[in-house]
Structures are given as C-alpha cells and as structure tokens.
Amino acid sequence: MAERRKRIDLDEGESKRPRTEEPSGGEEQWWEAKTNPYTQRPYSSRYWEIMAKRKTLPVWEAMSDFQRLLEEFQVIILVGETGSGKTTQIPQFVLQMAPDNGIACTQPRRVAAMSVAERVANECDVKLGDEIGFSIRFEDCTSSKTLLRYMTDGMLLREATIDPLLSKYSVIILDEAHERTLSTDILFGLMKELLPKREDLKLVVMSATLDARKFQRYFDNAPLMNIPGRLFPVEIFYTQEPERDYIDAAIRTVLQIHQYEEPGDILLFLTGEEEIETACNRISLEVSTLRSQKKAGPVMCVPLYSTLPPHMQQKIFAPAPAGGRKVVVSTNIAETSITIDGVVYVVDPGFSKQKVFNPRVRVESLLVSPISQASANQRAGRAGRTQAGKCFRMYTEHAFKNDLIPATYPEILRSNLGTVVLQLKKLGIDDLVHFDFMDPPAPETLMRALELLNYLECLDDEGNLTPKGTQMSEFPLDPQLSRMIVVGGQRHSCTNEMCTIAALLSVPPIFVRPRDKAKESKEAKMQFNHQDGDHQTFMNAFNAYITSAGSSDQEKKSWCQYNFLSFRALASAENVRKQLVQLCKRAQIKMVSPKDADPHATEGSYGYGVAVRKAMLDGFFMQVAHKDVRGDYTTCKDNQSVASHPSNWMDGQSEWMIYNEFVLTTRNWVRTCTRVEADWLIDSCPDYWDHADFPEGEIKRALVRLRKRKEDQEKKQAGGKSKPSW
Ligand SMILES: Nc1ncnc2c1ncn2[C@@H]1O[C@H](COP(=O)(O)OP(=O)(O)O)[C@@H](O)[C@H]1O
Ligand SMILES: [Mg+2]
C-alpha cells in the first residue's frame, strides 16, 4: 500500500492535463452517442439541453481521473463543494464503467433520494423506475431493469440485514458522508467488514468539504480525490444585536433584499414545515402589498421540506418570474443535499431541528437547536454558486464565534440506538463494543438500547436475538411498533388494527389544520374523536376514508378536503398498511380482529377498545405517563414532568396513558396519547413494571397496590382450584 498515490488533487497542474471530453482517437464517446442504449431511441431534445449543462459541472472534468482511480482501488473518498455534480454525475460515471452491475447511491434524506433519482432519470432520458430508480422506506420505485438506485441510507442498511453480502451491488456509493447520519455511520462499519469478504465490491464515499481526512484514515488511507470548487466570494452580514424572534427578523430581511438588492434568488433556512409554510404565506402577502404600491417586483415563494409532495419539490427548480425573484424557504435539506441554482442571497437564522437523546431519561426528541459553525458556512456557501453573493446571518458575530460549536455532533452520539442495535444483531454483529464505529456511541446509550430490546423481548438476557426479535426485525418500524403488531396484535387478536395504527404513526399527520380555518377543522376532527384517545381517533378517520371517501382519486381528494384530512397522508397510510399486512403474512402472523370473534363488536364497543389498547400497551409500555393528585403528568420510571400536548384530543382526563412521542419545546410535552388501565400495566411486561426498580413516589405506591391485588387474585384463583369439588 505504501506506493499508493494517497491524494489526487485536481487543483494541481490542471492546465497541463488534457480535458476528459477530448477523445484521443476520434472514436465516439458515450456522451456523443445519438441513440439511447437503454431505449434504443434517439435522445430527446431535453437530453441534449441537460447534457450541455452537465458538461459545465466541475466533476465532469474529473471523469476519467475518477474512473481510473475506481479501477485501481477498492475504496475512494471523493470530496467536492456542494453543487459540483457529485450526486447526479458520479453514479453515472460508474454506470458507464460497469453497465450491467447494480449500483447503490445512498442519501440521508428521502426527498433527496427521490428528487435526485428523478433528475438522473431525466438526464439519462429514461423513465423513472426503469434503469434509474429510487427506494425509500415503504416506497420502492425500481424494477428488474434498474441498474442505479438512489436510496436512503436506512434502506441499504435494511437490505444488508436481508442479504449481508449486498450481492446485488458491485459499487456502493455512500453520499453526503459528512452528514454523519446514524445509518451512514453504521454502513461505514459494515462496509469495513464486508469489503475484505467481497473483493469485487467497490466503495465510493462522497462528502462536502468537511472532515475528509477522517474518512480517509478510517478507510485505511484510501485515496482522496478533490473536486475543485467554483465558489464565488460571499459577503457575510451579522445583526448588531441578538434577534428575539428569528422568523420575524428573517422575513423582514427577505423583504428588504427583495426591495433593495440586485437581482438574484433568495434562500431562507427555517426549521420545519409549519414555520416554512407560515413564512411563505407572510412573504407572499407582504410582497403583494409592496407590488400594489409599485415598490417591488413579483416573487415566487417555494417551500422545501421532507414531507412535501414530490411534484411540489420539483418547483424549487423552476425559474424565477420575469422581473422578479424566487424565494426558497427550506429546512436543512438545501444546506448540502439539494442544490438550487440561481441563489445569490442566503438568510440564515442559525437554527435547525436536531435529534437529541438523553439516555438517562430515555428520551429522544427533535429539538430546534443552534446550528454549528460548519453548517453556517455551508449555508453561506449556497449564495456563491453562480456569482458573488451575500449571506445575512440573523445572529451576532460574537454569537457565531463563541456560541456555535465548530461542527455538529454525529447523529450516533445523539440517538436512541434501539432500532440500530436490533439491526446489527440481525446482521450477526454481537460484539457491539468492538464494532468499528467511526465515533463510538456512549456505553450508556448502547446499554440502554440493549435494555430496551430486552424488555421488548427482542433479545434474551445474554443479548442474543430471540425468535420474536427476528420476527420483529422483519418490519421496517421502530421495535415498539413491531412489538405492538407481533406481540400485542397476536395476544389480543387485533393484528389487523395494529397494522392500521402502525401505518398511521408512520406517515405525516392526517389531520389538516389551516390557520385561517382553525374552528372548522377542529369541528371536522370532532366527528372522528374516540373516547379513549388519539390512536383510535386516527383509526376512525382512516376507516371512514376507506369506506366513504369514494373510488377515484378525485373523489377521495375532495372528501378529504371537506373533512380537513390529508389525502396524501391517508393514501400513504393505506399503502404502508398494505405492506405491513404483507410482512405479517410472510412472518406467518394471522390477520385477525376482535370483530372476528364477536360479530357485534364495533369500533366503539368496550371489548373492542380494550383489545386495541392492551395490544398497543404491549408495544408502548415504556412510554406511559401517570397523572398525580394535582393533575400533573409524569413519565413512568424516568420521572419526567410532562404536559399533554394541546393537539391531543383527550386532554388530561385519564390517570394512565401511553404516548407516542415526547416533544421538547419550551417545555416537555407528550403527544398522541391513549388512556390505559392500571390493571393492564404489569401484564404488558412484568419485568419492566417491577416496582422495586421505580423511584419512590405515587407511581411506585400505585404499582405496589396493583401487584398486591394481582397476587391476592392469583391466590384466590389457586385456592379456588385446589378446593374439593363437592
Ligand atoms: N431536479 C433537478 N432539476 C434541475 N437541476 C437539478 C436537479 N437536481 C439537481 N440539479 C442540478 O444539478 C447540479 C449538480 O447537483 P448535484 O449533483 O446534486 O451536486 P452535489 O452532489 O455535488 O452537491 C446542480 O447544479 C443542481 O442544481
Ligand atoms: Mg450531493
């Protein structure tokens, strides 16, 4: 290995090197061909238009160097500025070298996987899903023809649990490596184990210009290829004073840029769907006032976030209106995953939603948090893609230098590792302590994950996968949800209902609440309300959609609109449910419902509700909150003081309830709740509810009482049995 060329820097001696696209011997290069080898048809005019643009991307010049390097080495690290063409072009360069083999290119985000696959299908002039496809959880847009698939890193990880050798692929590209998502980090470790076993397999690790040396060291000094950036200078402006309301400040700044700055599009970073939609509305409204006063030109305001429907995502690439600008309001997706050309101004309030996990109290939550310096610089860079630009930071220079951490911590250090540990176990990796993590998680986090999986009966006391655990790991769900189906559903004869609920918890919110129709939407929701809480309320709405919404998409859409429900979310839940039912079938889990045994049972009847709630508790027994005598809720065992989220319909009425989500904002909330009975707790998981493990307090006292009652009952029953039968 010593004679390897460790680093290839295309910055050096560029003028001396012949450009790739000049063919040496007059033979036709693939990009000059007139006929599409996939369809055998002449290329469309759009193909040639895009091709002209592709040839101007920085990576285009590096094509033959890249291909040569990939021939020679098993692993290469490729680093390049965002927008240089890594994600769209490199997989195609690979495809040219190995036209018949499977290629996977991972993306941390679903939106990126879908949007890039669509772009690349267009670039290749093929239908999406044919030679170029994508695969994300619950949505597979590939076929037997597919050669190159863009997929979320989580999906590749799942594939590895089914086929540990990943034999479908000859080249794996781990993209956006700098994001250090949980799944990508695990894939790094897996690839390191897999590469010596499969010498024909190649790995390309692609990253924005961050941390590249670390990747190189991790992969035994693999060669590093550097795509020279073409970044124009970006002037940075800070606020003089800290801003109290970053959304307000950001919107003001966007409007000022629109009125007073030179032409060029604006990119505003916000943290989530609600903020983004609000900002888009406010900007559009203010601009129309400005326009009526003839103070500014038109604006096209486009949102971008992960749950946006695909046709809306493509809008970010549309050109700005004549004489006006495009304003893209986006989450972190636009930081490195998706490049929008034409942006000259960036407005950066300095926040993003980040996962945080506190193993001590077992709480994982998405929290709006300050970004890192590295993120801030990436964001600023978005303004200098096509010309010199400006970045307006909604915080002070002092805050940038002193309050922001240099780089975001890898997700593995901020996550609940339950799902991942289960996957690793399924992959046969038992020794987690010696698994080669790029940044090893805290031992406590690993311990918590093992403990969780043990309570859920996925792992036995020795940490080995149980048959139930194997079954649960077949489902692409968090282990709580899969236990709800596999254990709860079977124990209480309601696998059917559990699949519906698991599906509904895996899609975006089904209830729509437009700001200007708060009252109407609340009333519409009332008709679905279920006395026991949110889960069954969701299920009522879903069942109504299935039975009453109509048959055509158009009918369904208008039914949903009338009832303030999201058609997209419900359609997606229907699809997810179908897949879960199929997975059950494969695992030989019968689809049953309490209705099968009792023809009089309805969604509203007592016995039905009890079965459904008991089954849910079998999955969520570690997420129970208890109401004390003062009326305040505390989470069981971890003793966190929480409040019932205002969106829960059953507000503060029940003594014990399961919650689906712990939300951290200005205070601790639990969201999506359903009441459960104290009597059921111990049965759901006797080990977990052993009162000896609980801190002193009301909950422990209640458990002691429950246990005693249970024991008395058991004694009585046992006594009854041994009585002579005269
Ligand atoms: N759906 C799309 N429509 C139009 N242009 C796109 C689309 N997707 C990507 N592009 C363009 O392709 C170029 C290369 O982007 P990409 O390959 O994502 O770069 P990188 O991965 O290096 O950040 C960018 O100029 C980007 O704007
Ligand atoms: Mg990219």
Q: Give yes or no: residues 198 and 95 share one domain.
A: yes
Question: Among candidates 476, 510, 471, which has minimal Cα distance to 488?
Answer: 471
Main-chain dihedrals φ then ψ at residue 373, nearest 5 degrees? -60, -40
Q: Give yes or no: residues 350 and 462 share one domain.
A: no
Task: Pull the structure tokens for residue 533.
Answer: 């809480």
pLDDT in tens, 330-339: 999 999 888 8
Q: Which ligand is nearest to the Cα of residue 337, counting in written order?
A: 2
Q: Give yes or no: residues 364 and 379 share one domain.
A: yes
Structural domain includes residue 720: no
Residue 134: strand, helix, or coil: strand
- Pair 172, 204: CB distance under 8 Å: yes
Q: Give yes or no: residues 630 and 595 share one domain.
A: no
d(CA 122, CA 510): 32
Structural domain includes residue 483: yes
Q: What is the pLDDT of residue 724?
A: 45
**Distance (Å) from CA 54 to ligand 1 centroid:** 9
Structural domain includes residue 515: yes
Q: Give yes or no: residues 153 and 216 share one domain.
A: yes
Question: Among candidates 245, 314, 305, which has minimal Cα distance to 274?
Answer: 305
Q: Which residues pair with 76 in a beta bridge?
A: 204
- Pair 95, 241: CB distance under 8 Å: no
**Distance (Å) from CA 236 to ligand 2 centroid:** 24
List all residues whose CB is within 6 A of at least one atom of ligand 1.
57, 80, 82-89, 115, 119, 317, 339, 341
Q: Give yes or no: residues 109 and 76 share one domain.
A: yes
Strands (E), 142-194: 148-152, 169-174
- Pair 393, 379: CB distance under 8 Å: no
Q: Give yes or no: residues 53 and 153 share one domain.
A: yes
* CATH number, domain containing residue 178: 3.40.50.300
Structural domain includes residue 587: yes
Q: Give yes or no: residues 494 and 628 share one domain.
A: no
Give the position, in ligand 1's atom list, of the atom nearest the Cα of 119: 1
Q: Which ligand is nearest to the Cα of residue 91, counting in written order?
A: 1
Q: Give yes or no: residues 277 and 174 share one domain.
A: no
d(CA 698, CA 365): 26
Structural domain includes residue 73: yes
Q: Which of 613, 641, 661 is the last residue of a domain?
A: 613
- Pair 174, 154: CB distance under 8 Å: no
Cβ contacts of residue 657 below 8 Å, gap of 6+?
533, 624, 625, 633, 644, 650, 670, 673, 674, 675, 676
Instruction: Show the 3-state SS of 398-415.
Output: HHHHHCCCCCCCCHHHHC
Strands 265-269 and 668-676, sheet pairing: unpaired
Q: Give yes or no: residues 389 and 436 share one domain.
A: no
Q: Give yes or no: residues 328 and 377 share one domain.
A: yes
* CATH number, domain containing residue 434: 1.10.10.2130
Amino acid at residue number 487 = V
CB atoms within 10 A of CB 2: 5
d(CA 394, CA 238): 6
**Distance (Å) from CA 411 to ligand 1 centroid:** 25
Range of the domain at 350: 234-412
- Pair 34, 251: CB distance under 8 Å: no
Q: Give yes or no: residues 437 and 484 share one domain.
A: no
Residue 549: strand, helix, or coil: coil
**Distance (Å) from CA 81 to ligand 2 centroid:** 9
Cβ contacts of residue 263 below 8 Å, gap of 6+?
325, 344
* CATH number, domain containing residue 590: 1.20.120.1080
Task: Pull the structure tokens for residue 689.
Answer: 């509810």
Q: What is the pLDDT of residue 596?
A: 86
Question: Among candidates 516, 520, 564, which has minimal Cα distance to 544?
Answer: 564
Q: CA 650, 635, 694, 417 torsion: positive or negative?
A: positive
Tell me the pTM. Answer: 0.88
Cβ contacts of residue 615 below 8 Å, gap of 6+?
484, 488, 489, 491, 492, 494, 497, 498
Structural domain includes residue 110: yes
**Distance (Å) from CA 646 to ligand 2 centroid:** 39
Q: What is the pLDDT of residue 21?
A: 46
Cβ contacts of residue 281 below 8 Å, gap of 6+?
none
Q: Which ligand is nearest to the Cα of residue 176, counting in written order?
A: 2
d(CA 5, CA 222): 9
Q: Which of 212, 227, 242 is the last residue of a domain?
A: 227
Number of domains in the chain: 5
- Give the C-alpha distances (Å, rounded to integers) separating 265 from 234, 302, 341, 541: 14, 11, 9, 41
CA dihedral 595, 596, 598, 603 (to 10 degrees): 0
Question: Among candidates 104, 348, 346, which has minimal Cα distance to 234?
Answer: 346
Structural domain includes residue 725: no
Task: Pull the structure tokens for residue 31.
Answer: 């990009």
Task: Pull the structure tokens for residue 709.
Answer: 């009652």
Residue closest by Cα to atom 12 of ligand 1 = 85
* Spans of the chain below 50 pLDDT: 1-23, 723-726
Structural domain includes residue 49: yes
Give the position, in ligand 1's atom list, of the atom nearest the Cα of 338: 18
Q: Which residues pair with 147 in a beta bridge?
A: none
CB atoms within 10 A of CB 451: 16
